[in-house]
Every structure is written in C-alpha cells, then in structure tokens.
Amino acid sequence: MKLIILDRDGVINFDSDQFIKCPEEWKPIPGSLEAIARLNQAGYRVVLATNQSGIGRGLFDMATLNAIHDKMHKALAQVGGRIDALFFCPHAADSSCDCRKPKPGMFEEISKRFNMELDGIPAIGDSLRDLQAAVALGAQPILVRTGKGEKTLAAGNLPEGTLVFNDLAEAAQYLITPTA
C-alpha cells in the first residue's frame, strides 16, 4: 500500500494566523485538490494529520470542524479526489497531549490504523513541527513553500533529507513521476 500524510492548513488550503474558523474561511490553494486526486489515481492513500488548536482555544467547535472538513471532502470529490483518513489534534498549544505536532502521536495512530511502519512514507507540511513529527517515525519529510513554508525554509534547521517543493502540486508530481 502506498500512503502519504499531509498537513491541512498551508498545504491543502490557505492558512490564517487567525485560524480557519468556519467553512467560508476554508479556501483551497490552487492545484492542491487536483494534486490529491492525482495521488489517489497513482494508488496513494491520502491521510491528513492536522493540529486544530482552535477547538482547544474555544474558537470553534467540533460541528464547525466537521463542516469545514465536509466542504473540503466535497471540493475534493468534484475533482475526483478523496482523503482516506483524517487525524487531528484538538488541543491548545499549551496542553501536554501526545498528539499535537511536533509530537508524533498522530503519526503513531496512522501507523496503527494502517498497520504499517512509516519508514520512507512521504509526509508533507509547511512548518518545522510537521517535519519533526514525520521524522520521529521515519517518514520522509517534505516541505512546501506555501502557507508557513517560506518562513520555515528561511529559518533553517530542517531535518536531514527534507525535500522542498513550491506547493503540493509540485510535490505530488515528483512522487508520481517514475524515476529513470
């Protein structure tokens, strides 16, 4: 089975320092939905691992998060794409949970759910914490320049072997294109 793990905000949709708090604020980055559809067509199971501390901060509730994800699923279906599983951490940044990236809890859950090691599995994010959670379980860290990606790249200290692409579409093309 081919698996890929994606962060949501800044990778699939535009991010906001004020959080994505309602379906109307969720807007896909051009080409991201089509990239997911191409990954699906290439045999990848696409999994999301996303910190959603807006819940823990009281900025929105579970019904609103579900409505945001429903909008995302419907938009993906319109271009022939799908998310096979969605994992999220609802806790605020100051909580001591094990699921909030950079901790690897969501990645451990993904490994258990799909009954597979994550060694070499591509994991795409736009922040250092996304990459750190990935490498904790041996996944291949991939940084996109969208969202917080440019700032993350400029700050340096990326995990060894991190691949960098302009956006999800470029990363997907790299992963799908056979190497000679």
How big is the CA angle at 16 (ends 10 and 17), to the nearest 5 degrees? 120
Tokens matching residue 156: 């340096």
| CATH fourth-level superfamily of 2-43+51-176 | HAD superfamily/HAD-like (3.40.50.1000)
Instruction: Choose the catalytic residue: 7, 15, 126, 167.
Output: 7
Q: How far is CA 46 from CA 6, 7, 33, in A?
A: 7, 11, 12
Instruction: Choose the catalytic residue: 9, 126, 130, 167.
Output: 9
7 carries an active-site annotation: yes
pLDDT by position in tens, the chain (length 180): 899 999 999 999 999 999 999 999 999 999 999 999 999 999 999 999 999 999 999 999 999 999 999 999 999 999 999 999 999 999 998 888 999 999 999 999 999 999 999 999 999 999 999 999 999 999 999 999 999 999 999 999 999 999 999 999 999 999 999 765
98 carries an active-site annotation: no
The sign of the torsion formed by the CA atoms of 129, 34, 176, 119 equals positive
Tokens matching residue 2: 């081919």
**151 neighbors 125 (Cβ within 8 angstroms):** no
pTM, two decimals, is: 0.96
